[in-house]
Amino acid sequence: MAEQTNIQKPQAPAPKTAPKKEVSSNVGGIKSASIVILICFILAVCIYLFVFGAGSNFKDGNNANAPLNLLGTVYKGGIIVPVLLTCLLTVIVLTVERWIALAKAKGSGNITKFVENVKAALRAKDINKAEELCRKQKGTVGAIVYATLQKYKEMDKDTTLEKEQKLTSIQQTLEEATALEMPTLQQNLPIVATLTTLGTLIGLLGTVLGMIKSFQALAQSGAPDSTELSTGISEALVNTAFGIATAALALIAYNFYTNKIDNMTYAIDELGFSIVSTFAATH
């Protein structure tokens, strides 16, 4: 009788669970604003010389003559014009740059609704659901809350530390994650804030220089030189207009983006408080 042999089928390997995807804010932006300022200066000089200073904007095609239109009048604003134009272009570029960066920082979906959903998950003690919400939201708020939830789970498994020490550790993780993200949100905003004042001061300088030229034309013996007088007045008014435009745009952009960052900060603080309160109530 043939000896029967038991052949064991190899067991199928256990299915691997997909690793949990970490949450990153992915806040981009221009790291070196000095490059932006340099490029804007070169562009401003080119606009001043070849657009405002084009011969078609002046009588007889000579930019030394009286201007025929607004572009020629701006050219008569003098050497301060390209400096102010540099400030204005820099504000515009950094405003667009911050718009794109903060749009990424905001993540997907509405932040207010995200906060409510995470708080609901915390009230239900469903930390995994809260983590999944962070992975869907992404952005700065999602990244910071996700890092805090990871520390929450770590402290939940820890049996060596006291409750107060665990709460302190969770709070510290929240503060560290926030401190790492805030500089990327506020990047280049100090330059915009500086241009709020600098644009006004440079415009005022151009105004003073223009008025000096006007008074010099009036101080000449005999009949005043009408060309020099009009040139001085043009320089004063053009520089005033550029200075006001630069300062106004910079002020609006700075306050707008500061408010958006404050809203994110409030959301982070609210969720951080909820996480700490949930841990304190369940341990």
Long-range contacts from 68-75, C-beta under 8 angstroms, 24+ separation: 73/234, 73/238, 74/238, 75/48
pLDDT score for 67: 84
> Which amino acid appears at position 185 of this protein?
L
Residue-wise burial string across 210-242, b where 16 or more C-beta atoms lie within 10 A, e elsewhere: beebbeebeeeeeeeeeeebbbbbbbbbbbbbb
pLDDT digit string, tens, across residues 93-111: 999 999 999 988 888 888 8
**Does residue 85 carry a pLDDT above 50?**
yes
The DSSP symbol for 273 reads: H
Specify the residue for token string 């001061």. 201
The DSSP symbol for 283 reads: -
Report the percentage of the chain scoring pLDDT > 70.
88
- Determine if the pTM surpasses 0.95: no
Tell me which of 11-15, 24-28, 176-180, 198-202 is least confident. Answer: 11-15
**Does residue 214 carry a pLDDT above 90?**
no
Of 10 and 256, which is predicted with more confidence? 256
**Does residue 262 carry a pLDDT above 90?**
yes
Domain coordinates in residue numbering, the chain: 79-282
**Distance from the Cα of residue 194 to its chain's centroid:** 14
What share of residues in the chain are helix, strand, coil (percent, to 5)? 75, 0, 25
Q: What is the DSSP string of 76-100?
A: TT-THHHHHHHHHHHHHHHHHHHHH
pLDDT digit string, tens, across residues 145-203: 999 999 999 998 888 889 899 999 999 999 999 998 888 899 999 999 999 999 999 99
